[in-house]
Structure formats: structure tokens, C-alpha cells
Amino acid sequence: MGEWNRTTRECSLDQIHPEMAAAIQKHVETHNLGPILEEALICIETVSEKVKKGIFGGGGDRRVVTCAIVTPGWLVWAVSGEKSGTAALSASLRDLQVTDYAATAGYRLLPDTGIELSGELTGRVGMHGESRVSTFIGLGEEPAARKFLETLDWAIQAVRR
């Protein structure tokens, strides 16, 4: 068992928590992404609740909510925690690499469920001037999470054709 208990459900854009919807809208406007949300293929919400102290201590958020939206060309997501606040990010599907977290080296050290993303995230630059970064999106094991992954994979393949 990992540090987190995660539950994923499919939702509509109008069911996103208001602070997350505002962060996503601001991100889309700040980075001039246009009306990409009008073509949303799927929207999910994952609630992650910490069930035990992690290997790095027990600080940080006890509950984190992630909302992720797949469009024909973009993945947009927001993360919100009671201590960390709310932030939104996005990535063009053209350059995005998605790996099941269970297939990564980190899984042996810290088992969890979700995906690891690698690519250029809109509005974010990695350390030492690197533009490619890696990040993690936690997912539950519900059918909505599988549908999200299938839709994301399909959208990535479609944009690269």
C-alpha cells in the first residue's frame, strides 16, 4: 500500500471545484491557449488522501484534489491542497510522454497509482534551464481512471498522426 488512498471519478467541466476552475481558466488565458476547453474529451477528478506518513516525513497536505482535462491537443490539470494551495499546468500532447507510474524506477521506492508525465509544461521551466520536466498525476483504480488513460493515449496518437 502506498502513502495515498486515491479515488478518481469522471466529471463535467462545470463540476470542477470553483478555485480549480478559476486556476485553470487563468492558466489558459495567461498562456494564450485559446478556447481549448470547449473541446474537452474527458474531465476527471482525483481525490488523494494521505493514509500514512511518507518516507520523507509527515508534513504537507493530508488531502489533495487533482482535476485533469484532455482536449484534442492538450492536457490541462489543476492540483489543490489545503496547505499548498491551487495551481494549474498544461502540456501539448504533441511532445508529451506518458508512463504508467508502476513501470518507473520510483515505483519500487514509493509504490503508488498514476502516471508520470515528461515534456515541456506550459509556463514552467525545469531546473538549470532545462525545458523538459517530469511530474506525477495520481489516479485511483476506478473505471474513470482507465477511461481517462485510454482517452489520453488516443488523443496523443491522434495529434501525432
User: Does residue 2 carry a pLDDT above 90?
Assistant: no
> What are the structural domain ranges in the chain?
4-159
Q: Which residues, 6+ apart, have CB-to-CB distance to 26 below 8 Å? A: 88
Model pLDDT, residue 54: 54
Enumerate the β-bridge partners of residue 76: 69, 90
Model pLDDT, residue 58: 61
Model pLDDT, residue 25: 97
Instruction: Please give the average per-residue pLDDT across 60-82, as a whole number.
Output: 95
Model pLDDT, residue 123: 72
Q: Would you say 24 and 14 are in contact if contact means Cβ atoms under 8 Å apart?
A: no
Domain 4-159 grouped into CATH 2.30.29: yes
Q: Determine the Cα–Cα distance for residues 136 and 114; give it in Å rounded to an integer.
A: 7
Model pLDDT, residue 110: 86
pLDDT tens per residue across span 80-131? 998 999 999 999 999 899 999 989 988 888 889 999 999 988 877 665 556 6
Model pLDDT, residue 55: 58
The CA-atom distances, in angstroms, between 11 and each of 70, 95, 104 are: 12, 26, 28
This prediction has a pTM of 0.90
